[in-house]
Structure 1
Amino acid sequence: MNFTLHQLKVFTTIVENKSITKAANELNMTQPAASIQLKNFQDQFDIPLSEIIGRQFYVTDFGREIFVIAEEILNKTETIQYKTEAFRGLLSGKLKISVVSTGNYVMPYFLSGFLKKYPKVELVLDVSNKTTVIKDLEQNLVDFSLVTVSPSHLEIEELPLMDNHLVLVASKENKIISEKGTSIFKTIPLIYREEGSGTRHTMQQFFKQEKIAPKIKLELTSNEAIKQAVVANIGVSIVSLLSIKNELLQNELKIIPAKGLPLKSVWKLIYLKKKTLSPVAKAFLAYVASEKETVYKNYFSWIDNTEFN
């Protein structure tokens, strides 16, 4: 048996993507080149690792077992590289973070200085919905997750970063009139995030507390889609203030004052309590803890000057 580390990498990437074409794109290879590497790896086994049915790629049971071993080998190889760098006095390794979609307006500012300080660190950042983010954390696929609503079923540690303000917004063309009470939510059509979203969770808690049955016009699966729908004057919505900075500056959206708003939650970096953090993860946690006030001052102080009422 004479497989190479490159063949292991190609095989695991194909399995992860469930597609030779997608894996080839990720590895910056041509599709034929990836297919050849997969064939050369397969030729060393007399039991099929995968099969193509129709045009769909499937992994066999044997292939899944080889995949697990291949991942372990590749991880050990990376560890050798990182240990070598560490002995040379350089912090290196992978930092894996999953972020809920609105957190994409937050996380880059906490990563920028850290990556400049430690250029050998390799970042893997996944931006997804809350359900996927928590699943990645639960399965120990990431070092940290950035959320506003913590999972109640997991034992976690938390590092609060900054407040998250949720405001009611409408198109500049919308003639809606603010009201002192909460009755405004009984008449205006609201655009909601999908079920499982942290923003939606906070909204629902507010409506439940105020005994409000809001009029839901439609549900959209991303913050960007909601912003565009509001700009187009399809309806109004409650969104994170962080996500609409540009739209406010460009006079495309306006904040509608309403009793009880803005809603507040907290952006926090969470990780599994029993997880053994890598040197890179420990360094990032320490960096964020020491620099979060400076990051807020440099990039988010505009929030303090925003008028909500």
Structure 2
Amino acid sequence: MNYTLHQLEVFLNVFEYQSVTKASEAMYLTQPAVSIQLKKFQEQFKIPLFEVVGRQIYITEFGKEVAHAAQKIIEEVKAINYKALSFQGELAGTLRIAIVSTAKYVMPYFISDFMDKNQGVDLIMDVTNKASVIKALENNEVDFAMVSTIPKKLKINRIELMKNELYMVGGKDYNHKGKWLSKGEFQKLPLIYREQGSATRLAMEKFIESRKISTYKKMELTSNEALKQAVISGLGYSIMPLIGIKNALAIGDLQIIPVKGLPIVSNWNLIWLSSKNMTTIAKALITHVNENKQAIIRKHFSWLETSNSLL
């Protein structure tokens, strides 16, 4: 046997994604490069690791055993690398963050320089809805969470990052008359909501309830991107965070519909449990964000301060 660590990583990715194409995308390699390494790895064994039926790849029982062993080997190699970096005085280990789905337009900018400067830090970032984010934080499954509304039942510390504004939006073909959308016109619009557990949905429902608006038709989608595409296509209307629709507004695919009481304004927050025993990596990230957040906001989000040009 003379297989390499790289071949183990390739096979493990093929096992996880059940696809050479998806494995190549995950590893930032070309599909032929992955196929060649997979072939060389298979040549080390007399028993098939996988079968190809049509265009679908299936891992054999033997292949699954090899994949589990490969996972353990790669984890041990990472542990060695972490220890080496630690002895050199560098940060090493895993940083775990859970963020609400619309925070994916924000959080990467606050950690990209940190990750670039600390090559020994691996990042696991789960993008989901607010309910799942808070559950992960409460169960101590993550170091940090990024949310726009603070959970009331948890004792947390936080860094306030930047404002989050939600507007009523429609597709380019909507023809609005008058300065503001009237209550009667609002009630005629088919509305699209995010799923239950989403902070955006909660904000939208609270606003509609506070205005005693009876909704005409209700649809539900489970991601901000899907919702945005639905509104662009003319399927319906929604109240959405400005942070996720900048480009669609700029090119005219979406438009802001003026409604009294909007935008809904909250703030993005990086939060963590007050009782959590913070790792060296987590403490370093807190320092990084506190020291650099204003510069990051000016560099990447100054357009929010002049957002009237998009409205």
Tell me, yes or no, whether TM beats 0.5: yes
2:50 is matched with none
* SS of aligned partner of 2:245: helix
Report the residue type matching 2:102 in the other structure.
T
Deviations 1:173-192 (A, max 9, x none): 11133526655432322111
1:273 is matched with 274
Shift of 1:236: 1.4
Shift of 1:222: 1.1
1:88 is matched with 88
Q: 210-219 vs 71-80, which deviates more?
A: 71-80
Shift of 1:244: 0.8
Distance change in 2, residues 1:74/1:158 (3 Å): farther
Cα separation, 1, equivalents of 2:23 and 2:233? 38
1:97 is matched with 97
Shift of 1:296: 0.9
1:44 is matched with none
Deviations 1:130-149 (A, max 9, x none): 25642662432221111113
Report the residue type matching 1:263 in the other structure.
I
Q: Residues 130 and 147 of structure 1 are in contact (CA less than 8 Å); yes or no, is this contact kept in structure 2?
A: no
Distance change in 2, residues 1:157/1:75 (3 Å): farther
Distance change in 2, residues 1:133/1:289 (3 Å): farther
Q: Residues 167 and 261 of structure 1 are in contact (CA less than 8 Å); yes or no, is this contact kept in structure 2?
A: yes
Shift of 1:288: 0.8
* SS of aligned partner of 1:300: helix
1:46 is matched with none
Report the residue type matching 1:245 in the other structure.
K
Shift of 1:250: 0.8
Cα separation, 1, equivalents of 2:23 and 2:305? 45
Q: Residues 155 and 272 of structure 1 are in contact (CA less than 8 Å); yes or no, is this contact kept in structure 2?
A: yes
Q: Residues 100 and 133 of structure 2 are in contact (CA less than 8 Å); yes or no, is this contact kept in structure 1?
A: no
Report the residue type matching 1:274 in the other structure.
S
Q: Residues 191 and 219 of structure 1 are in contact (CA less than 8 Å); yes or no, is this contact kept in structure 2?
A: yes
* SS of aligned partner of 1:146: strand
1:166 is matched with 166
TM-score (norm 2): 0.73
CA RMSD of aligned residues (A): 4.5
2:141 is matched with 141
TM-score (norm 1): 0.73
Cα separation, 1, equivalents of 2:230 and 2:239? 12
1:215 is matched with 216
Q: Residues 143 and 282 of structure 2 are in contact (CA less than 8 Å); yes or no, is this contact kept in structure 1?
A: yes
Report the residue type matching 2:146 in the other structure.
L
Cα separation, 1, equivalents of 2:222 and 2:168? 18
Distance change in 2, residues 1:150/1:73 (3 Å): farther
Deviations 1:241-290 (A, max 9, x none): 01111111111111111111000111111122222222111111111111
2:190 is matched with 189
* SS of aligned partner of 2:247: helix
Report the residue type matching 1:104 in the other structure.
K
Instruction: Write the mapping of 1:182-261 to structure 2, written as runs, cut at 5 A.
Output: 182-261=183-262
Q: Residues 94 and 122 of structure 2 are in contact (CA less than 8 Å); yes or no, is this contact kept in structure 1?
A: yes
1:152 is matched with 152
1:128 is matched with 127
Structure 2 residues without counterparts, runs of 5 or longer: 42-67
Identity in percent: 38
Shift of 1:154: 3.1
Deviations 1:108-135 (A, max 9, x none): 111222122x241434343432256426
Cα separation, 2, equivalents of 1:72 and 1:273? 33
Q: Which runs of 4+ in 1 moved over 6 A?
A: 12-19, 22-31, 71-77
Structure 1 residues without counterparts, runs of 5 or longer: 38-66
